[in-house]
Chains A and B, each alone.
Chain A
Amino acid sequence: MKKILTHRLMLPIAALVALIVINTIARPSFVSVTVKGDQLYGPLIDILRNSAPLMLVSLGMMIVISTRGIDLSVGAIMAVSGAVALTIIDGSPTPNDLGTVLGAIGIAVLIGMLLGAWNGFLVAVVGVQPIIATLVLMLAGRGVALLITGGFITTINSAPYKFMAQGYVIGLPFAFFVSVAAVALVALIERRTALGVLTEAVGINPEASRLAGVRSRGIIWGAYAASGVLAGFAGILYSSNTMAADSNAAGLYIELYAILAVVLGGTSLMGGKFTVAGTVIGVFTIETLRSTILFLGVPSAVAPLFLAVAVVIVVLIQSPRLRSLVTRTAQGARPNTSEVAR
């Protein structure tokens, strides 16, 4: 029992369960899943579907944070990749052709990777602080996306592209399968090979890991490139959901939500150990919180206030000072009980 209570995923899971219970009590329809045709509908299914872009971005963010970095440019990369994909499809004579769509997606994700690699170059080779290195792209990226679409919101009609975010496979949203695949892939690469351990080593002590023969430069570079790929794919999902490349709205604030999801999941911002499962729980917690806020009738613009409260609570729980304060009071109580026992 104690082992379960002190497990590091205990708090994130408790938070998520508490949210779901509160939601279920407040509106019993929250957990109901209805079947229409061969597709499932319901608030929970919506959460699974809507969380896909955040899931992809958070996985990339988690890897970057693990190397003691941070990637602020993910939202901008989403905007660029959405703009690239939609501009290609819009310009092609066969927007409904699967080959065209796959090609457009491939190019958009590739550009996401290049942008991520550029961040990695600045951080790992030039030695710029991660916040600033990615800030550059965050500033410039949306401008680039606007230039690609010519300042307009490009809209398209393409059935295969629409399927990405709005399609269903065996009753569940296709986007959900995309995020499952991403989680499985990241977990496989990071945990079934030594890469995850090496990444953590770089984050825990870059100098020591370099002296131990870890190629930290390549690992950091790869982390940002991976984040770029995942953000690029998230941009596809986002633009497929609206079938429009809105360079200003795509991925707005997603970097902050992703950082929050990673931290909620128990990965420290100081780098080092990361948990894929924790990040997944973090993403679902945020998505459930957002759905709750919407249900409460709070204007979505006020929603950041609730997230701020969530952030403060989480960082206070993680704070060493508060922990030592709590343990000190606990220890202060213990000698008394032992004396009584004697």
Chain B
Amino acid sequence: MTSVQAPLEKADAFGPLKRFVSRRASWIPVFAALALLILIFIAGQAYFGNFLTPRVISALLLDNAYLFILAVGMTFVILTGGIDLSVGAVMAFTGMFGASLLRDGVPSGIVVPVMLLLGAAFGLAIGVLVQYFDVQPFIASLAAMFAARGLAFMVSLDSIKVETPEILWLQSTRIQGAPGSFYITPTGIIALLVVLVAALVLAYTRFGRTIYAIGGNEQSARLMGLPVVRSKLLAYVVSGVCAGLAGVVFTAYTGASYPLNGMGTELDTIAAVVIGGTLLLGGSGFVVGSMIGVFVYGTIKTAISFMGADQSWTRISVGLLLLLFVVVQRIIVARSDRR
């Protein structure tokens, strides 16, 4: 009797943890990213002494608001197994176009929706190329990136200053938090809202589940009768709208639009999403993970400017982190394949 009891008890001791791990296997990379973020925070605090201040933490959200929004859109696309290289250029173009409209006296109540629609149009174009003409997402979004960058320069070769009070309000308002001197700007609230809405959509709507199903196995999803075509198109449109919104936020952030804005942002975005635990093959990942990925990116950037080191180290360390996480992903995928 006792000999039977013993192994049971032993299993009970580790059971909940094991069950948790096996059921939440797709969350492990997110926890890994979170652990990394905390590690960087602790290391930064230990090294600089004044790293974890309300000012720095609030600035993290402020400085990277556009990146949060882009990363959310990118997560949708990567979850379907695609990729969107156009986000940085679309952000620049919508920003330029919006700024030129504002300069001509168009009210911001019209300009902002127009910017979002422009982003959506780019997303739709990529989606149509991918879905109906079997163009690889990489190439289709590359063409969109070229087009958007060229169009941004067509609007104006120089930067356009934005003086519309409503747009600048998004950035200049500092809503003070209760404890200490934490603050948040409307742009930060927009970014967090986008993350929240996207997380809810992915977790609880039919569209969200279809996105995961497509990334898991597109053929099966189609045979199950899921609306594959519509959902995939919509994923690219979501990414485009996010790029348009990022254009609004980034214009507010810099107070001006410059056609070279967001050069290389698509790579930063992809890196943040991957660090946040989204599998590049699609089908597994979370918007919350991407948010943590952006936080990791932003914290590294802050830490490097704290050190007074050259900003080229940001790209180097983000590149190395990306490598680390991709290799870890490989190992996880290889293990689950074996199972």
Known: A137-B319, A304-B147, A312-B129. A128 touches B312 (CB 8 A): no
Residues of chain A lying within 8 A (CB to CB) of residue B243: none
Q: How far, in Å, is B318 (CB) from chain A's closest CB?
A: 6
A20 CB-CB contact with B under 8 Å: no
A302 contacts B by Cβ under 8 Å: yes
Q: Mark B139-178, 1 if CB is under 8 A from A, else 0.
A: 1101111110111011001000000000000000000000
A140 located at the interface, meaning its Cβ lies under 8 Å from any Cβ of chain B in the complex: yes
Task: Indicate whether B245 reaches chain A with its CB closer than 8 angstroms.
Answer: no
Given A299-B157, A307-B146, A151 contacting B310 (CB threshold 8 A): yes
State A263–B326 Cα separation when bound (angstroms).
28
Q: Contacts of B61 on A, CB cut-off 8 Å? A: none
Closest-CB distance, B281 to chain A (whole angstroms): 8
A304 CA to B86 CA, complexed, in Å: 13
Contact B319 A312 (CB under 8 A): no
From A140, A303, A308, A322, contact of B133 by CB (8 A): A322
Q: B-side binding surface: helix, strand, loop or mixed?
A: helix
Q: Is A136 an interface residue (CB 8 A)?
A: yes
* Contact present for A136 and B319 (CB under 8 Å): yes
What is the distance, in angstroms, from A114's C-beta to the closest C-beta of chain B? Answer: 16
A49 at the interface (CB under 8 A from B): no
Q: B318: nearest residue on chain A (CB-CB)?
A: A139
Instruction: Give the distance in Å from the alpha carbon of A142 to the alpha carbon of B268 in the complex.
Output: 14
Q: How long is the Cα–Cα vector from A259 to B146 in the complex, in angstroms? A: 13
A140: nearest chain-B partner, CB-CB: B319
**A93 close to chain B: CB less than 8 A:** no
Contact in complex: B312, A146 (CB < 8 Å): yes
A315–B129 touching, CB < 8 Å = yes
Residue pair A305, B147 in contact (C-beta under 8 Å): yes
The complex places the Cα of A303 from the Cα of B149 at a distance, in Å, of: 9
Pick the residue among B144, B149, B280 that contacts A129 (CB under 8 A). Answer: B280
> Given that A139-B267, A316-B133 are known contacts, is A131 also in contact with B310, CB under 8 Å in the complex?
no
Which listed residue (A136, A137, A308, A316) contacts B326, Cβ 8 A? A136
Contact with A along B117-139 (1 / 0, CB 8 A): 00000000000010011111011
B76, chain A: closest CB distance, angstroms: 18
Q: Which residues of chain B are within 8 angstroms of A138 by Cβ–Cβ distance? A: 267, 319
- Asked whether any CB of chain B lies closer than 8 Å to the CB of A144, the reply is yes
CB-CB under 8 A from B193, the residues of chain A are none
Bound form: Cα–Cα A18–B13 in Å? 75
Nearest CB of B to A289, in Å: 12
A272 to chain B, nearest CB (A): 14
Closest residue of chain B to A320 (Cβ to Cβ) is B134
Verify if B87 is at the interface (C-beta below 8 Å from A): no
Q: Tell me, in angstroms, the Cα distance from A307 to B318 when the chains sit together.
A: 30
Residue B69 is within 8 A (CB to CB) of chain A in the complex? no
Residue from the list A126, A140, A142, A269 in contact with B139, Cβ < 8 A: A269
Q: Which residue of B lies closest to A142 (CB)?
A: B315
Give bound CA distance, A303 to B316, whole Å: 30
Q: A137 to B142, alpha carbons, bound, how many Å?
A: 19
Contact between B318 and A315, CB atoms less than 8 A apart: no
Q: Is the CB of B133 within 8 A of A321?
A: yes
A42→B104 CA distance, assembly (Å): 44
Q: Are A127 and B136 in contact (CB under 8 A)?
A: no
| Residue on A nearest B260 in the bound complex, by CB | A301
Count, chain A residues at interface, CB 8 A: 43
Q: B143 touches which one: A127, A140, A142, A311 (CB < 8 A)? A: A311
Segment 290-305 of A: residues with Cβ below 8 Å from B: 299, 301-305
Contact indicator per residue, chain B 307-329, by CB within 8 Å of chain A (1) or not (0): 00010111110111011001100
Asked if residues A304 and B316 are in contact (CB atoms below 8 Å), the reply is no
Which chain B residues border A129 with CB–CB below 8 Å? 280-281, 326
CA of A320 to CA of B134, assembled, Å: 7
With A132-B326, A136-B323, A321-B134 as contacts: A308 and B144 at CB distance below 8 Å:
yes
Alpha-carbon separation in the docked complex, A319 to B130 (Å): 10
Contact present for B320 and A140 (CB under 8 Å): yes
Which of B129, B144, B149 has its CB near the most chain A CB atoms (within 10 A)?
Answer: B149
Q: Is A256 an interface residue (CB 8 A)?
A: yes
Flag whether A11 is at the interface (Cβ < 8 A). Answer: no
Contact of A319 with B138 in the complex, beta carbons under 8 Å: no
User: A159 in the interface, Cβ–Cβ < 8 Å?
Assistant: no
**A185 on the B face (CB < 8 A):** no
- Residue of A127, A140, A303, A307 with most partner-chain B CB within 10 A: A140
Residues from chain A with a CB closer than 8 A to the CB of B149 are: 304-305
Q: Does A135 contact B (CB under 8 A)?
A: yes
CB of A43 closer than 8 Å to a CB of B: no
> A135-B270, A256-B142 known; A305 and B316 CB under 8 Å?
no
Minimum CB distance partner of A139 in chain B: B319
Residues of B within 8 A of A131 (CB): 83, 138, 280
Q: With both chains docked as a complex, state the minimum distance between the C-beta of B151 and any C-beta of chain A, in angstroms.
A: 6
Contact present for A301 and B146 (CB under 8 Å): no
Task: Determine the distance from Cα of A135 to Cα of B319 in the docked complex, in whole angstroms.
Answer: 8
With A140-B320, A319-B135 as given contacts, are A304 and B146 in contact (CB-CB < 8 Å)?
A: yes
Query: Is B211's beta carbon under 8 Å from chain A?
Result: no
| Contact residues in B for A269 (Cβ distance below 8 Å) | 136, 138-139
Q: Contact partner of A139 among B144, B151, B271, CB < 8 A?
A: B271
CB contacts (< 8 Å) of B103 on chain A: these are none
With a cutoff of 8 Å between Cβ atoms, the chain B residues found around residue A299 in the complex are 153, 157
The smallest beta-carbon distance between A328 and chain B, in angstroms, is: 15
20 additional A-B pairs beyond A128-B326, A304-B146, A305-B146, beta carbons within 8 Å, are A131-B83, A131-B138, A131-B280, A132-B280, A132-B326, A140-B316, A140-B319, A142-B312, A142-B315, A143-B312, A143-B314, A144-B316, A302-B150, A304-B150, A307-B146, A308-B144, A308-B147, A311-B146, A312-B143, A316-B133
List 10 A-B pairs, minimum CB-CB distance, nearest first.
A305-B150, A140-B319, A308-B146, A308-B147, A143-B312, A139-B319, A301-B153, A143-B316, A304-B146, A146-B312
A-B pairs with beta carbons under 8 Å apart, 30 shown: A122-B323, A126-B327, A128-B327, A129-B326, A131-B83, A133-B326, A136-B323, A139-B318, A140-B320, A142-B315, A143-B314, A143-B315, A147-B316, A151-B312, A256-B146, A269-B138, A305-B146, A305-B154, A308-B143, A308-B145, A308-B146, A311-B143, A312-B129, A315-B129, A315-B133, A315-B135, A315-B143, A316-B135, A319-B134, A321-B133
